[in-house]
Structure 1
Amino acid sequence: MTTPTTARTRTGMTGRPGPGQRASLQVSAADTAQLQDYPVGARRVLGLFAPYRRPLLGVTSIIVISALLGLAGPFILRALIDTAIPQQNVRLLVLLVGAMLGITAVTQLLGVVQTYVSTRIGQQVMHTLRTRLFTHLQRLPLGFFTRTRGGELQSRITNDVNAMQSVVTDTATSIATNVTTTVGVAVAMVALSWRLSLISLVILPPAIYLTRRVARLRRSIQTRAQRSLADMQTQIEESLSISGVQLAKTLGSGPMLSRRFTQISQELTEQELQSQMAGRWRMGSMALIFSAIPAFIYLAAGLPATGRGMTIGTLVAFTALQTSLFRPVMGVLNVGIQVTTSMALFSRVFEFLDAPVEIDDPVVPAAMHASTLSGEVRFEGVGFRYPGSSEDALQEIDLQLPAGARVAVVGSTGSGKSTLAALVSRLYDPSVGRVLIDGYDVRDLPLAAVASAVGVVSQDTYLLHASIADNLRYAKPDATDADLVRAARAAQVHELIAALPDGYDTVVGARGYRFSGGEKQRIALARTILRNPPILVLDEATSALDNTTERAVQEALDELSVGRTTLTIAHRLSTVRHADQIVVLDHGRIVQRGRHEELLAEGGRYAELVRDAEAGEQARDDLIDAAG
């Protein structure tokens, strides 16, 4: 299967034509590459529409009926010109005019019904795929998201799934309409005049060739323009974000960015001009073609060899049919392109739908309730290796966290501390060995039960773009206002929230009120307190904070840890001196364990870490003094 990493190298959110631009006269290289790397069978795609067999049959019937009714127009026109008008036959004239109006009314009514049914089918299929994809992505392992760009996920859920509606409402109905119309018009033309039909067959191929050639030229120009537009959008996004502006100002790269933007904008200007001129040539070519075809028909009708016995009505009716033939023929010729483009959309979505769920609920889950847990955690012979890595991140980990104990894990960067923490919350499963909670293997527990039992607070605090109350209730949707206040007080953040103009209704997140790092951390703590988990994992929760803020957050953490089994992943060793047990990791193995004083007296790796930490703090203090 093509990995998401491979997929995003060839398809991204930027630089990819939108749904409206895809129905061109040339298959894009991205679509071809997508289907080569991840082919999709027609049976699987058709299976999505299986529940809608009857509505689809109805839509097909409407298309056929509409096409046949449209073919009646030229024959009615011939009867009007050759019979009703010359003979002044009022009764026939009224009937024919009424038939023309009736056919138009019925065709329009059928078109409304067709649009409603096909759009409804498209929306239902889109809804099914969108919800299936979102639900499936929620079940994928954390490694999938570290390998896959967030914009790629959004693109497939929104852009690609939305574009699939056009497969039903546009592509499928267009194919059916064009095929039906082409066959019907060809039969009607032969019925009117087989001689003129032969002439049309001679003229039509060069006309189609010329139109397709101009369209390919415009497609090539549009592709280059899309690439330039994508480059421009990328530069705008990167250069005018807060971080981008700050980086440009500190590096003095503003003039360089302006020159680059000017160059891209100039290229886009030239490409848009070429595109419009190519379009103008295309329109001119089309006008020439549409003028030439009737002209040759009139010439043939006037020649004795080809126009014998032809009436004016037949000539006018045939010309009308000939004019309506060109567009559906072009549509039929593009069927393969439309199908390839549509299948590429399904391929992109199915590629993510087929991504394996590595961590899932057990078939027969153990009956465990978080409310009855004591909170004991054990690692038995645990080893772990990340997919694609040649080295183990953890090896032979045997560790017990008694219920209510405070255990700290320390070590240098890359020693496996965060990996160990991730195994407790089952973000990953061990490659060998077992992780147990109260004697239950976490792999035998429902994922919801593990989430209820284990609360995680990390240094990367994420707040949703919603109110503070909604952010807190993300952990416990049925929490009352009083519950929110109690949790915020325990996290020492209630006074801060209450002082805001909108209090707990204050909107936070990327575009809301901006809290400092320590304030966000305490809101995250309140969110965890609201869940009241018996096991708490603190993954370097204060490493990104200054000393003053760290002390405030640490006080909240200490209060939160009371009565809970706490696993603390520590970067600053000053925060774990009073832990019941300190575990030292080095290259994925436990090399020491004990209390702070014992480990210092023993020497070894822990003593080295303490000395390095104290040296770092002294160097920082010296720097501050020098600056002062």
Structure 2
Amino acid sequence: MDNRMTATPAMDRPDNDYEKVAATHVSLRRVLELFRPYRAKIAIVASLMLLGAGAGMSSPFLLRAIIDEALPRSDLHQLVALVVGLLFVAVLSTSLSTAQVILSVGIGQAIMHDLRVRVYSHLQSLSLGFFTATRAGEIQSRIASDISGLQSLVTTSANELARSSATVVMTAAAILLLEWRLALFVFLIVPGTVAISNRVARMRERLLFEQQERIADMSSAIQETLSISGVILARTMNRGEHLSHRFSSLSGEVAKLEARAHTAGEWQWALINLALSVLPALTLLVGGLLIEADTPITIGTLVAMIALQEQLLWPLEQLLEIAREMRTTRALFARIFAYLDRPVEITQAAETVALDRADMHGAVRVANVSFFYPGAATPALRDISIDIPAGGHVAIVGATGSGKTTLGYLLARLYDVDAGVISFDGVDIRALRFETLADMLGVVTQEPYLLHATVADNLRFGRPEASDDQLARAARIAQIHETIMALPDRYETLVGERGYRFSGGEKQRLALARVILRDPPILLLDEATSALDAKTEHAMASALAALSQGRTTITIAHRLSTVRQADQIIVLQKGRIIERGAHDELMAQGRAYSELVMRSHLDRQTA
């Protein structure tokens, strides 16, 4: 039996062909674009690095002068001057290094912030279809874990890369100027170390991608099973131990991948450390031979060469490590950019229509609308046409799977139609500005969503500027004010995660008050009372009746007792309209609607 927390293993999902994903979404130019807004500050940091590297480059030459000139001549004046020069170089290098670190960290954190906000904002613009096919834990993992994994790159590694590169280039130039024969010997190790570093980086890159996929699985498991709903399900079914075992298996996979991602190619990397460790000794040997050559070198030159070599080797090793780490972060960029490259299906037209509240009347027209869900062979809705005058009340009914909720999604523009037009007050909703569409249509769903915030904050979510008096008025219309006033902190009471502090009916009425506060001319009620008991449903019906006065109301209903007073009832079956008319008219015909009413009546009697 598969012990994963999810039915589909992470690496079997469509976007997990790593090489294809990375090649499609990641390029050096695209990564560098993240740094573009901060190029002026980066230029300052680069200048500080070059100054620091230049200052450090002078130290071995001062050291050679001390050994070859000041000490042999016992020239105290020259010795003091040279030592003071060394001290000045040390203080200057330290000051420049500290300043550029402070600036670099600030730039890095700003880039991280920009990337997080960019991904979050892009996800906010995707259609509902993306979220129905993607686990919330996966999304959280890419915003939190993947971007956090880049933190060392943009705050430390990029800074160290530039500083080490500057040091390596300047020191290599100094070595060539000091003694070209020894310089050629030192440079022989570079090609081999670079080749080994790239090989190790490629190995760890793929492992890091797979590791992040498993971390996303683990994040999803935590969110699903440690939410209030998940805990209730596990305890009522006595499956806590089973879930712990499955989580242990998934966590074990993450731990193994973590270890492999950090240790893959470690023996090969050890060859680099070995080569760098023995190089000073070999340099002394070669230098000793050159002392006896026809063109000898001085002891001071050899000591300065060793000093420069030490100054070269540690940034060279650091440069190779950073290059390896930067290569592995390509896996993180692949996951992040893959989200950023997802197309935005619901877009705002270049030339939009904006309406003032006074110009909104609430006339709705659905003209020859058809819609396919992505990948579906048959349409969810086909050739739907409905005219709703301003202030009218239309009910959409039908069996489960008939297309009622899909029509609601299209009216709210959570999806766009594949054919036909939906218009509000004569304007195609695809031409309406997003803000205007949100102001025109208020939606109350079967499962209202409440934020983990105060009652007041939840009510003000759609209208932040609302006053306390306006909150209370909306709550009274929704018949929830007295319940709120009985709470310990009244409107400042925390509702709890997903509103679990309140009953189903209370959450519905809070959601209704939130819509009332926005005062939309069109009201869409999607199964708003289907999960309520008779007493609560009666209270909600009274609240809805008060809210519907003077508004266009579209009721999507499973419980048909709530739609008898509608001006027009639309009966859907397999995505088509099969009947329409008033309640009495449809009952008299004795067809589909009549059967639905009788079935609903029997269901309530046996409930």
TM-score, with length taken from structure 1 = 0.82
Distance 1:391-1:40 versus aligned 2 partners, 3 A rule: farther
Q: State the superposition RMSD in angstroms.
A: 3.9
After TM superposition, the structure 1 stretch with the greater mean CA deviation from structure 2, 101-110 or 568-577, is: 101-110
Contact 1:38–1:347, Cα closer than 8 Å, also in 2: yes
Matched residue SS, 1:563: coil
After TM superposition, the structure 1 stretch with the greater mean CA deviation from structure 2, 549-558 or 184-193, is: 184-193
Is 2:40 the partner of 1:62?
no
Cα deviations by residue, 1:561-587 (Å, 9 ceiling, x for unpaired): 222211100011122122222110111
Corresponding residue to 1:316 among 303, 316, 340: 303
Question: Superposed, which structure 2 residues align to 1:363-378 within 5 Å?
Answer: 363-366=350-353, 368-378=355-365
Matched residue SS, 2:362: coil
Contact 1:290–1:323, Cα closer than 8 Å, also in 2: no
Contact 1:542–1:553, Cα closer than 8 Å, also in 2: yes
User: Which sections of structure 2, spanning at least 5 residues, go unmatched?
Assistant: 1-8
Contact 2:209–2:332, Cα closer than 8 Å, also in 1: no
Provide the residue aligned with 2:6 in structure 1. none
Corresponding residue to 1:569 among 536, 556, 560: 556
Count of residue pairs the alignment pairs up = 597
CA distance in 2, matches of 1:238, 1:440: 41
Cα deviations by residue, 1:473-518 (Å, 9 ceiling, x for unpaired): 1122221111111111111111111111111011224187621111
CA distance in 2, matches of 1:244, 1:202: 61
Matched residue SS, 1:316: helix
Matched residue SS, 2:58: helix
Is 2:429 the partner of 1:447?
no
CA distance in 1, matches of 2:455, 2:236: 34
Corresponding residue to 1:178 among 164, 167, 179: 164
After TM superposition, the structure 1 stretch with the greater mean CA deviation from structure 2, 204-213 or 125-134, is: 204-213
CA distance in 1, matches of 2:33, 2:322: 20
Deviation at 1:37, TM superposition (A): 3.1
Question: Superposed, which structure 2 residues align to 1:242-257 within 5 Å?
Answer: 242-257=228-243
Provide the residue aligned with 1:501 in structure 2. 488
Is 2:532 the partner of 1:545?
yes
Cα deviations by residue, 1:386-442 (Å, 9 ceiling, x for unpaired): 233222222222212222222111001121111222233322332222222233332
After TM superposition, the structure 1 stretch with the greater mean CA deviation from structure 2, 103-112 or 143-152, is: 143-152
Contact 1:32–1:344, Cα closer than 8 Å, also in 2: no
Is 2:85 the partner of 1:99?
yes
Cα deviations by residue, 1:363-394 (Å, 9 ceiling, x for unpaired): 33345323333322222222222233222222
Question: Superposed, which structure 2 residues align to 1:33-432 within 5 Å?
Answer: 33-40=20-27, 42=29, 44-161=30-147, 167-201=153-187, 239-260=225-246, 291-303=277-289, 309-330=296-317, 333=320, 337=324, 340-341=327-328, 348-366=335-353, 368-432=355-419
Deviation at 1:333, TM superposition (A): 4.9
Cα deviations by residue, 1:245-303 (Å, 9 ceiling, x for unpaired): 44444444445445556666777888889999999989987875555333333334444
Contact 1:122–1:164, Cα closer than 8 Å, also in 2: no
Provide the residue aligned with 2:465 in structure 1. 478
Cα deviations by residue, 1:526-558 (Å, 9 ceiling, x for unpaired): 111111111111000112223333222222222
CA distance in 1, matches of 2:205, 2:327: 16
Is 2:576 the partner of 1:589?
yes
Q: 1:475 corresponds to which letter in structure 2?
A: G
CA distance in 2, matches of 1:225, 1:50: 30
Deviation at 1:51, TM superposition (A): 4.7
Deviation at 1:339, TM superposition (A): 5.7
Deviation at 1:134, TM superposition (A): 3.8
Deviation at 1:143, TM superposition (A): 2.4
Is 2:442 the partner of 1:458?
no
Q: 2:175 corresponds to which letter in structure 1?
A: M
Matched residue SS, 1:419: helix
Matched residue SS, 2:497: coil
Distance 1:513-1:608 versus aligned 2 partners, 3 A rule: closer
Q: 2:130 corresponds to which letter in structure 1?
A: F
CA distance in 2, matches of 1:128, 1:558: 46
Distance 1:10-1:361 versus aligned 2 partners, 3 A rule: same
Matched residue SS, 2:553: strand
CA distance in 2, matches of 1:163, 1:277: 17
Corresponding residue to 2:423 among 436, 440, 443: 436
Q: 2:418 corresponds to which letter in structure 1?
A: S
Provide the residue aligned with 2:5 in structure 1. none
Provide the residue aligned with 2:516 in structure 1. 529
Cα deviations by residue, 1:123-173 (Å, 9 ceiling, x for unpaired): 444454444444443333322333333344444444555555655544444
Provide the residue aligned with 1:15 in structure 2. none
Matched residue SS, 1:408: strand
Provide the residue aligned with 1:19 in structure 2. none
Q: 1:296 corresponds to which letter in structure 2?
A: L
Matched residue SS, 1:85: helix
Q: 1:294 corresponds to which letter in structure 2?
A: P
Provide the residue aligned with 1:599 in structure 2. 586
CA distance in 1, matches of 2:22, 2:606: 57
CA distance in 2, matches of 1:229, 1:241: 18
Distance 1:450-1:485 versus aligned 2 partners, 3 A rule: same
CA distance in 1, matches of 2:365, 2:498: 42
Provide the residue aligned with 1:26 in structure 2. none
Contact 2:10–2:213, Cα closer than 8 Å, also in 1: no
Q: 2:79 corresponds to which letter in structure 1?
A: L
Distance 1:98-1:492 versus aligned 2 partners, 3 A rule: same
Contact 1:62–1:110, Cα closer than 8 Å, also in 2: yes
Deviation at 1:75, TM superposition (A): 1.8
Contact 1:130–1:157, Cα closer than 8 Å, also in 2: yes
CA distance in 2, matches of 1:267, 1:367: 53
After TM superposition, the structure 1 stretch with the greater mean CA deviation from structure 2, 462-471 or 232-241, is: 232-241
CA distance in 2, matches of 1:165, 1:264: 25
TM-score, with length taken from structure 2 = 0.84
Distance 1:435-1:190 versus aligned 2 partners, 3 A rule: closer
Distance 1:98-1:263 versus aligned 2 partners, 3 A rule: same
Matched residue SS, 2:73: coil
CA distance in 2, matches of 1:38, 1:220: 15
Deviation at 1:519, TM superposition (A): 0.9
CA distance in 1, matches of 2:200, 2:352: 63
Deviation at 1:186, TM superposition (A): 2.5
Contact 1:40–1:347, Cα closer than 8 Å, also in 2: no
